[in-house]
Structure 1
């Protein structure tokens, strides 16, 4: 009897554990919804999940095949072009100032969702339906798609920064929510991308990019936002912009701000991207593993799952650690994971008996998990550096600095591939490009002293910085709701 009772108790405990695993995410979302405006949650799901996640993953895979098979460009050239249509992300402070200082018919957020949606929809439809499109024209369409994602991202990021400041204990949770949404969307997008490229072709598949901006346009019409009760004069708008810019430059001069900002910039700029060289090598039948279009999508989908795992590890186990310690060990693991790329390019995996299809799963999983764990605390740190009152524009400034670093990473990788003569058919020196990239990843460890030692819940800015900016029309930020009792209907 005693043994049967123990077995029953154990079975019940296991069932409760499984049930809690299923209900915990729902309870977590309910908790966030009770403390934040539901329209803010919907915006995060649409912009991060459908936009950056689903559309971003489709864009990455389909655009690579478009440049390779339709335009027939060299990998180094594509790497440089990818940097060009990354420029709208560098201009995020401009989008932030526009949304903060230039309302349209009394609304600061709705019009820019609509504008970004229209730009993205027209650009995606144009490149999908126009045959024999010149390289320059195709690049302009890709710029439009990228600008659409960037403008929508700036608007929702302002709300995330505000909530992270006013409900400081939720700052890591909000970044986890964004990570989960983008990771889940990317998983679906990557799984579908190879199928659509194979069935429709790379150019026709670009038409799928119109889905996200079309829904972003709808979001602009339905999302709740208070209309401003007064119409500002041009002089007042100009003065508001000047005040915002002065506050931004004053804040960025604080050591608590410029030091971690410099680290984030350098850690991205030194992490040169050799992605296009890898992509061309993946599909090469003579010297590469000759992965099919469907399997390339599966590889990236596995990476999306790994990113979700990285977010989960951070959310469950790492958000209580100090910034500097977490960034150091995450960067170390990220550098070690990059060595797997080198082993794969040199085909040492075959020497030790690991097939290409299995080894690429190991490589992609390790890189994505460590990369996500490395970057999550940086995003949380960025939200904690934003002064209340100009948080939207200042967060856009920090993301602009990061985007410039990422742009230099892409262009640096393109230059490196060209210098080493990596082409569509010659991958002799690709291993050397990967080796140089890995050495730079380890070199970044010497810069970790720029990251503060403080915990992820602690306030970093001097109190006078936020106090000087709190009068900057704080009550007009209406895409989020902080108090539990005063919910606003959508």
Structure 2
């Protein structure tokens, strides 16, 4: 070691050298990590993950949310309740995710299981978004069909890349955690960037222009399908496809009839369905120049971007502090906090924040961040619980089925929120009863607590399924490359 008192200049030079090495390590460390993954699993796989999770879902999801909100409000000029109903319809492709998963697993096209589905997803997404952007006076039903088509493109690409992740997790088990980190990192950074620039783009080129830009991520998904390295399946027995569908369906139905499975599924559905979504009513009020704070497009985008940071904080908090807590206790408190957090919207609508000297923008940023963080804390244990309910051999497809049940709950929540806005006569220019809709929504968020007894008391380290379902002959035989889709625990933040 260098004596700092006797050799001050040498000591300072060593400190500077270490700092320089630390800076270079921060720069080159992630690049080396990406290079390692590309070498171990081929660069086309890493490219596919970044495109699908980071650009198509993350960046595109941020642009789509803000762009579609303004599209329904300013271009189609529909009522908030109608916009809420339409947003539920666009989520239908995510409800039938098990179908996409089964298709990509049991029905190869021209000998490939994954590449054709990326191509189809990219083609559907690009055509749908271009039609929406280039048509001057698109009928509302065709606009809804285009947005649903874009959603289908994202959903198919999501399922297909999940299947690729599953295959590489089996062939490279030591890199499974790195792959999930790559998925989560891509999604989080993409969403943050997407929300950050969405408001500025809506202001510059309008909502139709922003939705038209979504054809670029879709085109990149198409490119993934052309460059992905995948072995070709020769002499595939297409006559067995029907039987494989039947076998998978029977296995899923048998599992669902198990009380250890259907009871948590009921709670998951009820917790989502009863948490009514009235986002469109609040969005219309946010941007109203008379009744609301009249936020600009740039401000709305920045609000959502800060909210995505809150969601990321929720993930970190769960991972580092709460992941080992029992399911029932954690879900009870997160659901209770979720209901209480809704009162922030109530205080904002009554403008009580101004009485305390808190500006509207600052209060909404706090509201969105807290809401997203608690929502993520509520969602994470549900995902982990879902993963514990999957039997051997059909883990991926059954997990997709559970996510579909959750998406049905989200659809019910969206339509229920639209009905709530309708019966309280919340329109594009009338918000007199919006406070009642918020109050009813907050009360409804407490109702899932009545079903909390359906959730097991066990913690994530314990098994939930009976042993005969965990260790089955079929499960042992199916833990191979064609073991289907592994749905990532980070991608469903919609």
In which range does the TM-score fall when normalised by the shorter chain?
Answer: 0.7 to 0.9
The superposition leaves residues 122-147 of structure 1 with CA deviations (integer Å, 9 ceiling, x where unpaired) of 11111111111111111111111010
Change (3 A) 1:423 1:167: farther
Q: How far off is 1:171 after superposition?
A: 8.7
Q: How far off is 1:218 after superposition?
A: 1.3
Q: How far off is 1:259 after superposition?
A: 1.9
Written as runs of structure 1 = structure 2, the 5 A alignment for 1:160-175 is: none
Distance 1:4 1:405 in 2: 68
Do the aligned residues in 2 keep the contact of 1:342 with 1:431 (CA within 8 Å)? Answer: yes
Q: How far off is 1:238 after superposition?
A: 0.9
Out of 405, 409, 416, the residue aligned to residue 405 of structure 1 is: 409
Written as runs of structure 1 = structure 2, the 5 A alignment for 1:372-387 is: 372-387=376-391
1:185 paired with 2:190, answer yes
Change (3 A) 1:334 1:477: same
Change (3 A) 1:390 1:36: farther
**Structure 1, 72-81 or 452-461: larger mean CA deviation:** 452-461
Q: How far off is 1:473 after superposition?
A: 7.5
Distance 2:28 2:260 in 1: 36
1:45 paired with 2:26, answer no
Out of 477, 480, 483, the residue aligned to residue 471 of structure 1 is: 477
Do the aligned residues in 2 keep the contact of 1:155 with 1:392 (CA within 8 Å)? Answer: no
Q: Secondary structure at the match of 2:445?
A: helix
Give the number of equivalent residue pairs.
Answer: 473
Distance 1:201 1:160 in 2: 36
Change (3 A) 1:109 1:284: same
Give TM-score scaled by structure 1 length. 0.87
Distance 1:345 1:461 in 2: 46
Change (3 A) 1:388 1:40: farther
Change (3 A) 1:133 1:228: same
Show the counterpart of 2:290: 286
Show the counterpart of 2:80: 75
Distance 2:461 2:210 in 1: 43
Give TM-score scaled by structure 2 length. 0.86
Distance 1:168 1:398 in 2: 24
Show the counterpart of 1:94: 99
Change (3 A) 1:361 1:204: same
Out of 423, 441, 445, the residue aligned to residue 441 of structure 1 is: 445
Distance 2:29 2:276 in 1: 36
Distance 2:444 2:177 in 1: 28
Distance 1:25 1:395 in 2: 34
Distance 1:403 1:434 in 2: 22
Out of 274, 277, 299, the residue aligned to residue 278 of structure 2 is: 274
Q: How far off is 1:442 after superposition?
A: 2.1
Provide structure 1 residue ranges, at least 5 long, that are not aligned to the other structure: 481-490
**Structure 1, 109-118 or 459-468: larger mean CA deviation:** 459-468
Q: How far off is 1:320 after superposition?
A: 2.6
Distance 1:161 1:382 in 2: 17
Do the aligned residues in 1 keep the contact of 2:95 with 2:404 (CA within 8 Å)? Answer: yes
1:419 paired with 2:423, answer yes
Distance 2:463 2:170 in 1: 9
Do the aligned residues in 2 keep the contact of 1:50 with 1:185 (CA within 8 Å)? Answer: yes
Show the counterpart of 1:484: none
Q: How far off is 1:477 after superposition?
A: 5.2
Show the counterpart of 1:452: 456
Change (3 A) 1:329 1:35: farther
Q: How far off is 1:74 after superposition?
A: 0.7
**Structure 1, 77-86 or 387-396: larger mean CA deviation:** 387-396
The RMSD of aligned alpha carbons is 3.4
Distance 2:121 2:226 in 1: 13
Distance 2:24 2:316 in 1: 16
The superposition leaves residues 170-208 of structure 1 with CA deviations (integer Å, 9 ceiling, x where unpaired) of 999876664443332111111111111111111122111
Do the aligned residues in 1 keep the contact of 2:170 with 2:480 (CA within 8 Å)? Answer: no
Do the aligned residues in 2 keep the contact of 1:387 with 1:461 (CA within 8 Å)? Answer: yes
Do the aligned residues in 2 keep the contact of 1:306 with 1:369 (CA within 8 Å)? Answer: yes
Change (3 A) 1:449 1:391: same
Out of 146, 151, 159, the residue aligned to residue 156 of structure 2 is: 151
Do the aligned residues in 1 keep the contact of 2:85 with 2:418 (CA within 8 Å)? Answer: yes
**Structure 1, 375-384 or 419-428: larger mean CA deviation:** 375-384
Do the aligned residues in 1 keep the contact of 2:126 with 2:218 (CA within 8 Å)? Answer: yes
1:242 paired with 2:246, answer yes
Out of 136, 143, 165, the residue aligned to residue 131 of structure 1 is: 136
Written as runs of structure 1 = structure 2, the 5 A alignment for 1:197-212 is: 197-212=202-217
Distance 2:174 2:257 in 1: 26
Provide structure 2 residue ranges, at least 5 long, that are not aligned to the other structure: 487-494
Show the counterpart of 1:488: none
Q: How far off is 1:87 after superposition?
A: 1.1
Do the aligned residues in 2 keep the contact of 1:331 with 1:374 (CA within 8 Å)? Answer: yes
Distance 2:478 2:380 in 1: 29
Distance 1:44 1:405 in 2: 28
Q: How far off is 1:27 after superposition?
A: 11
Q: Secondary structure at the match of 2:447?
A: helix
Distance 1:25 1:271 in 2: 42
